[in-house]
Amino acid sequence: MDELAPSRRRLLIGALAGGIGAAAGCLGTSDDGDGGDGDGAELRLSLSRIEGSLRDRHVRDRDDPPEGWDEAALDAALAGESYATQGRKPFFASPDDPKYVAHEGTYYQLGSVVVDEVAETYPVLRLFAVDGDDVESAVDGGEDGSLPEADQRAVRIAHFAARARGNAGGYQAGLVQRGGYAYRTETARAESALLADDGPDHVSYRDTTYRVEIERERFHETVYRPTAEALAESPERMEAILRATFVGARVGSDDLSAEARRIVEGADAEEYSETHPYSEAYVELLRAIDARPYIDGNVRKDAGVRENQKEMIRYGDEYYERYLRISGEADD
């Protein structure tokens, strides 16, 4: 990415060293508080303040784990004992979404490793809409119906797949499997009325009647061993680790000119935008928050730059979610 032209660089340095006059003159004003009057790409900046520490945001206490975590896996990982989960990660952790827990004064990063694979056969429920809604044998598959909770969940998820067939829309990944709902747990299979030999052939859900289809299918499932790696013994050390993991640019308010600080205030309150070519104050701020590629009005053609980007930054003593969005036409 090319730097600013020399004349523009000199203007920026002059604004930083000698005051805000040049920057204020370039920034301009409008009814909505946005600066710039060019006809190129419009770059919108919004800042969302994060309350509290990163520990508050990312670390869970051992006695208050998220509902989806496997608590037996958590106990085993913290105690260094052998344990395995099948078909799902015990803490849903990934390199892009690490999980942390505090236990007896120590902070741990949770994860898992793949240790095996097993094959299992599960019944899969698929639903197919039928013409008309007057099928007498149809049972209510909703919350007010008589089906067990396991079947109500199965119908709701299979309905997502049935609704999406032939439509441009989709469904939530991870819930629908093989075009329907897989009864993976022994409890769900034992409770199910739809899986019984004399189970209903049709269900109704959200004003639609569906034909019930049950097929037993083979699944190959990953086996995971939960892990817990001790990271820190103090809140301060853990906060530093989280900053290094999640926070990008660090900007002191005294590092910015008055006009650049005004842009921060506008982006924090609502949103700030300018059309390329951007004002010197906006360029100054984009450099400070490590968004240099966006200074180029032809940013859409630059490899590796997304039109919408979200990142955490630190401004002064506060954390912010920084969101950049491009709209309008790019310069040639």
How does pLDDT run across 155-211, given as a tens digit for each residue?
999 999 998 886 656 666 678 999 999 999 999 999 999 999 999 999 999 989 999
pLDDT of amino acid 307: 55
Measure the CA angle with vertex 143, ends 142 and 148; round to 5°.
90
Provide Rg for the chain, Cα atoms.
Answer: 28
Q: In what order do the strands lie in the sheet containing 42-50?
A: 247-251, 308-315, 318-327, 42-50, 272-275
Backbone phi, then psi, for 211, in 5-degree steps? -85, 135
Geometric angle at alpha carbon 91, from 89 and 93, rounded to 5°:
80
The pLDDT value given to residue 302? 60
Q: What is the pLDDT of residue 326?
A: 85
Low-confidence ranges of the chain (pLDDT < 70): 1-39, 132-134, 166-173, 297, 300-309, 328-332
CB half-sphere exposure, 299, CA atoms < 13 A: 25
Residues 6+ apart with CB under 8 A from 17: none
The residues near 66 (Cβ < 8 Å, ≥ 6 apart) are 60
Neighbours of 6 (CB within 10 A): 8
Determine the straight-line distance between the first and last CA of the chain, rounded to whole angstroms: 15
Contacts of 281 (CB under 8 A, 6+ apart): 15, 20, 23, 24, 26, 27, 35, 257, 259, 260, 262, 263
What's the pLDDT score for residue 268?
92
The predicted model scores a pTM of: 0.73
226 by DSSP, 3-state: which?
strand
Alpha-carbon span 327 to 42, nearest angstrom? 5
Beta strands in 198-255 (DSSP E): 202-205, 208-232, 247-251
**Chain segment 266-290, per-residue pLDDT in tens:** 999 889 999 989 999 999 999 999 9
What pLDDT is stored for residue 55 in this prediction? 97
Give the pair of three-digit tokens for residue 125: 């429920």
Angstrom distance (rounded) from CA 218 to CA 317:
54
Helix, strand or coil for residue 248? strand
Question: DSSP assignment of 125-186, as one string?
Answer: EEEEE-SSS--TT-EE-STTSSS-HHHHHHHHHHHHHHHHTTSS----BTTBBTTBEE--SH
